[in-house]
Every structure is written in C-alpha cells, then in structure tokens.
A and B are shown apart, each in its own frame.
Chain A
Amino acid sequence: MPSTAQPAALSGRRLPNLWDFVALCCVVGALVAVAAAFRGTLVPLDALESTPIDLDPGRLPEYALRTTLRMFAALVASILFTLTYAPLAAKSRRAGQIMVPVLDILQSVPILGFLSFTVAFFMNLFPGRVLGLELAAIFAIFTSQAWNMAFSFYQSLTTIPADLDEATRLYRLTTWQRFWRLEVPFAMPGLVWNTMLSMSAGWFFVVASEAITLGDNTWKLPGIGSYVAAALEKQDITAVFWAIGAMLLVILAYDQLLFRPLVAWSARFRFETTASATAEDPWMLALLRRTTLLRLAGDAIERAFGAFTGLRLGRPAATVSRRRAASRLNDAVFAVLVAAAVGAALWQVVDYVAGALTWADLRETLFLGSLTLLRVVVLIVLASLLWVPVGVWLGLRPAWARRVQPLAQFLAAFPANLLFPPFVVLIVRFHLNADVFLTPLMVLGTQWYILFNVIAGAAAFPGDLREAADNFRVGGWLWWRRVMLPGILPYYVTGALTASGGSWNAAIVAEVASWGNTRLEAHGLGAYIAQATDAGDFHRIVLGVVTMSLYVVVFNRLLWRPLYAYASRRTNLG
C-alpha cells in the first residue's frame, strides 16, 4: 500500500549504516577508474599504434570500462540533443515541418555506412590525437540513439494533455519552468524506455566503431570491439569467447545498475489517474533509497535541481493567438528558402556522385538492394514463424513470461556482431555458401524484438476474451486467426518493424565476414557499402547508403506504417 512508504522515509535514522560503506567504496572506485580511462584519450595517436590490443583476458576489464565510458558519453550527448532538438521542432511550426521529416529519415539511414566520413571529420578536428577517434566512435553510438530518443520526446511534446497545458499557462509558468515541470516529466516514461531500446543499438555500434578502417589505415581504440577484431585477425576463438563473456557482464551491470532503477523510477511520471499495482523496487533503487548517505545526497541534489528548474527564466506563455495574414508572407519566404536549400543539396549530391559514377552503378546498387531486401523479408518471416507461437505461449503463462521477458530484452541488447565469429568459423570450416549462411546473422540480434513484443502483447491480452474463446470452445487455427493474432497484432508490428530496421543496419556488418585471412562475402547492398568503405571510395559509399536509406524508407512507408495504423485501428474498442 502506498502510504506505508511515508513514515519510513520520514524516520530520523540519519546515522550511516553498512550500506553507506559499500556505497562509498563503489563511488570512489568508479571515480578513479573513470579518471584513468579519460587520461587515455589525450595521448597522441602514435601511442595508440605502438600499443596494440592485448588478447590477454586480464586486460578485458580495462577494455570493457573504456567501451562502457564511450557508451556513457554518447548517452549524455544524445540526451542533450534530445532536450534541444525536439522542443525546437515541436514549438515552431515552420521548424517542425523540416525537422520532423529529417529525424524520420535519419532514423532509417544506416549510419554505419557513414563511419568513414565521420572518422575523417573528427580526425581533422583533433589531428594526431586519439580524441578524434574517440569522438568518431562516440558519434557513431550517438547516431544510433539520438534520433529515436528525440522522436519519442517530440511525440510526447505534441501530445501534452490540454488541461495541463492550460494550467501551466494560467498559472503563468515561464517557458523554463514549463519545460521542467510539465514537458520533461510528461515525456519521461517514453524517453527512458526509448533510451533503453536505443542502448541495444548502441552496443552494436560501439563494437563496430572501435576498430576503424579508413583507406589504408586501421586504428583500434582500446575496447571490447577492438579486442574481438584483433582476435579475428589472429584466429583466436578463445579470446572471442572471453570477449563475449565480458560483454555479457557489462550489459548485465548496465541493466541492473542503471536501467532497471531508471524504469522503476520513471513509473511515477506515468500519466495515469489511477494508482496501478506497483512492482517491487529493483535492488539498486532500493539501495539508493535506503542508504542514508545516498538518500541525503539524493535529497540535496533533488532540492538543488528543483531550485534550478524552478528559475523564472523566459517568459510566461502568451495566449493562443490566431494566425495572422502577415505570417502567410513569412510562410512564402520560408518555403522559398527551403526550396532553395533542397535544390542546392540535391545539386551537390548529384554533382558529387555523378562525377565518378554512372547509371550502371545505380542499377547495380538497386539490384543489390533488392537482394538484401529479399534477405530481410525472408528472415523476418522465418523469425516470426518461430517466435510468434513461442511468444504467445510464454505470454499467456505469466510465471514464464516474467522470467523470459527480461532475458529476451537482454538478448536484444547484446551486440550480435560479437556473436558472428563462431558462425563464421563454422561457415569457413564446412565451406558453406556465404550467400545463404551469412544471412541469418542479420537477424541474430534483432529477432528478440519480435519475441519480447509478442510476449508483452500476449500477456496484455484481456482475460475475459480468452475466457470467452474457451467458453465457445474456439480452438486450433480458428483461435489463432480470430482471437490471438488480431490481439497481438499491434505489438507484433512494433516488434517486426524494429527488427527489420535493425536488420538493414546489420547487413553492413553481416554480409561481409572474415576469419584470419579468409574473407566471406555475400551479394548485397551491405557488402557493397562495406567494400566501398574498405576501399575508401567515398562516391560508392554515398550511393550505397542513399540507396539503402531509400529502400528502408519506402519499405517503412509502404508496409509497416499502414500495417501499424490498421492494427491499432482495428484492435481498439471505441
């Protein structure tokens, strides 16, 4: 019952307890480790080349820490981006007209393909320093998270309940106060959830972006991704397994220490009018809430944060003013400016690509793209055939669902590219067809989205409808067709959409694989981009990435969006 928490929090027990000691050690230890890792980023580039990645498992904790910190830096950057970009897009009608579609496209573009550009860019910013490479890696992770998070925040901003909006305006909260008292809290649950999902993509990218090849140069930033890359070169399968183990521990720690507490904490921001059953606090949150020192520190931070966010910056929002005729002129000016910018950008791209490429290249990428599309479709269908029944079975059994659900989310978060090497070894050993057998790698990491969404859907299936189906003895295929499949359709579509998007991205790493000197290549757009990157052929990279984005966007618009709209329309009562 909610009221029991109250007296406990107010009790006067302020003496440090055992947990305080534990917590203190953790905090100091973490600070020292971060400081040590940070020093490594300031060394010159030569130092990096003179200290190659050591395959000794004893070095793995250090590498894991470096990888984790990169993740963290990217997360901070993504949050800052989200908190600025989304409000701009939501507040200004004109800015929104451009910024929202841009975000939508950026979500679909396989950024992995652009890695070589960003590396070149950041290397020029900090010539001769490791920092440039670090930033490039962080930027790659950032690109895998930021769009998704910004989109979630934007959607929350546009769905703020009218009465709360009116209340903030009537009580004349300034824009700053409104942002922290209404907009951010309202968006919080969605934001936390999306951040968690984005982290999954982030792990994938951090592993891919640590070992960077640009033309003839290859750099390996200290980290788990580089460790695996080095192991592949040396054909050391034991080291690969060590790395997988380390990654498991890192993700487990992230999940337990950061995200479980965050998700539980964000539940208080859920916009609901009735008190729902609250799950027990995850142990980390309990630790934070029950440790005297930490709680005092937390209270102080909360107080300071409250004062900071309560500052009367900006002005109270004015009335809703009708659009005036004058703004039509501004609209026209704005439209002309946008048209000019688009024209210039198009000309740039065409000019750049046309300089070195011909129509034949375009035809080739389109053909390769359709091969990759075929792979994605076949894999999603196969994964669905497998995981939908399993997910439904699990979802209808709450005891199982509770246990499997975190596991499925965990598997989705695990960077699948770390799991590639064992498969590659098998393919090489048995001389299997690369075109066929490299394909499953694309869904290795993304199939779990289908599973855990279907589990969630089946678990949320109304009990009375199941009873009704049982009562009328609806069974067999009829039960699937009329009862269960329509019931989980919105969840399934969400999962399949995420899975297919992830598979496109994975294609760039999955269609090409190497083991020592053996190189496996499947025919597809992903392999095309990967080859162009290795060769440092920027023209082909641009063409490949643009074509892939085109496929993804068209696929989303023609299939997933209408399907999702249909699913949510048909399965809502009223």
Chain B
Amino acid sequence: MALEHDQELDASGLNCPLPILRAKKTLNGMESGKILKIIATDPGSVKDFEAFANQTGNELMESSEEGGKFIFLLKKK
C-alpha cells in the first residue's frame, strides 16, 4: 500500500548526519500529521531514521528500498 506524502526531500548523495538534519529542518516547516517522504542513498540512514523516529516522536510510517535508494515516510507528530 503506497502512502500519500505531502512533501518530498531528496537527500541522495548526502551522508551522515545530513539526511537527518535536512529532514528535521523540513519537518519544522510542516504541519502536524503531514507526511514527509525522504529519499536517501546513505545506508546508515536506515538505522538513523529509526532512531530519529524513536527519539523525536515523529512516526516512521514506512522504510523501504527502491532501485538502490532508501525511501522513508515520516509523519510529523
């Protein structure tokens, strides 16, 4: 089931800690309940986004891999 997203952030080519930092910045400008789709190429970002979701309360709705890129769907709390 593909979830609709409200905003997209392409963090391809960026390595730790940039994907998380950019995501945080983008989420700051979003309303509660909105979904942010993040595309990343950094393999470390899989664990990072899990930790980010756990620690900040923004729900990680989906974490998948597509064509060599990692896709994350974060719901702003």
Q: Do A and B bind each other?
A: no
Question: What residues of chain B have their CB less than 8 Å away from a CB belonging to chain A?
Answer: none
Question: What residues of chain A have their CB less than 8 Å away from a CB belonging to chain B?
Answer: none
